[in-house]
Structure 1
Amino acid sequence: MVSYMFIDESGDLGSKSKYLILSALVVKSPDKLDRIIKNMRRNKFKKQLKNANEIKANSSSPELVKHMLSKLNGVDDAQAFFVNLNKEKCYSSFLKGNKHKMYNFAAGKLATNINLDEGKVIVRIDKSKGKQVLRDDFNHYFEERLMENSSLETVEIHHSNSHSWGGLQFADVLAWSAFQKIERCNGEYIDVLKIGSEAYEVWS
């Protein structure tokens, strides 16, 4: 059995936001996500998405974001996981001095709390780490953390362009919606989500 996981983030590791939110969307049938976006482009949101290569929540209308979340509720095997990193609670000079390590640390916290059945998981993360050595470092750390509480046989990790994968666009919407609630106390988006979901803090 194969599961598919899509990961994206909202916020930053600099000084522009208090929080960094990572989201992971796990599904059995990623084609369902692609079909939702294809229908959006052909019908209700045809005009809005005419010149957009991909859907990004921060440049989309509230109606579109809520529509995607409500459609995700209809994907019966979908699960969402979130991790909330409060940068003000980081007292590690090692993590503070290396944004890549801090990101990996948060992603590892996310992975540790995801329990998957036996089989294979294909992980796709939005392609943001430019150097191969940074991608390899993330892959190794994330796979180790994911295997801690899961009985997986195989973990396959890809750093992919989000415009090519509907699942990554949904992960972007999830992370952005959670960020609105945590950073800006605005739950109108994430509260639309009704699928099984779990949220964790890196430092509680």
Structure 2
Amino acid sequence: MYIYIDESGDLGFSSKSTKYFVVAALVTEDKLRIEKCITKVRKERLPTKYKKISELKYHNSNGVVRRRILQCIAKTDSGIAYAVLRKRQVYENLRTKPNILYNFLCGYMIGNIFRKYHINNKVEIIVDRSLTGINREAFDEYVGYRALMSKAEIFDPDYLEIRHVDSAQDKCIQMVDFVVGAIARNYEHEDSSFYEIIDEKVEIALDFFKGKIK
């Protein structure tokens, strides 16, 4: 089992900050099928500028590319989980502790994934190493703890591996970037046009502090 994690938004609280912070996961046992989405889209007729950049990302792609990527993901045998933080509801004493907020969101989401999928064999959690405000050691320790403390079936801690990778070198991390971008747009801009493409793949949706949606 592979769990790919990415984020959208920021954990700042200034007037220029985003209203929401979203972390999302793409869960699959067939990462090759996910990787083929990028390869497939790159082979299609694209504007020249997309053929020159080394990494396709949600923010630097137009609507056509976003739809093609998301439609391809929607056809794969994978699941999507996400947690969204409504930042205006965050307590004042936590607003200066982005690492705690980030680890809690990811850890809570991972715990739900382990319960949902009854994980009892080898699992890799792959994270974009460029994620903002992340303390890798603290992240690995907390997320690992939440995974092991979840109510999943008996799970051997030796089966868990957490890796921080360069997104430019990992096509599946690039895919989850499009997923979390679509989810964030649904909240931040109240535009569900991209989210609707992947809605049926969403198996876990956690809204802080409204509660669990799925």
C-alpha RMSD over aligned residues: 1.9
- Structure 1 residue corresponding to 2:207, chosen from 196, 201, 204: 201
- CA drift at 1:49: 2.2
Q: Which has the higher helix share?
A: 2
1:86 maps to what in 2?
86
Q: Offset at 1:150?
A: 2.4
SS of aligned partner of 2:135: helix
Instruction: Tell me the TM-score normalized by structure 1.
Output: 0.90
| Alignment gaps of 5+ in structure 1 | none
What's the CA shift string for 1:76-104, capped at 9, x where partnerless? Answer: 2x0000101111111151x2222112111
SS in 2 for 1:140: helix
CA contact (8 A) 1:108 1:141 kept: yes
Partner of residue 36, structure 1: 37
Identity across the alignment (%): 25
Instruction: Judge conservation of contact 1:109–1:202 (CA < 8 Å) in 2.
Output: no
Over 6 Å off, 4+ runs: none
Among 152, 160, 165, which residue is 1:160 paired with? 165
Change in Cα spacing, 1:130 to 1:11, as seen in structure 2 (3 Å) is closer
| One-letter amino acid of the structure 1 residue matched with residue 10 of structure 2 | D
Secondary structure in 2 matching 1:55: coil
Q: Contact between 1:40 and 1:46, CA under 8 Å: does it hold in 2?
A: no
TM-score, normalization by structure 2: 0.86
* Residues 64-103 of structure 1 aligned to structure 2 (within 5 Å): 64-76=65-77, 78-91=78-91, 93=93, 95-103=94-102
In structure 2, the CA distance between the partners of 1:174 and 1:50, relative to structure 1 (3 Å rule), is same
Does 2:126 align with 1:124?
yes
How many residue pairs match? The answer is 199
Contact conserved, 1:129 with 1:135, CA < 8 A, in 2? no
Task: Give 1:52 shift.
Answer: 1.5
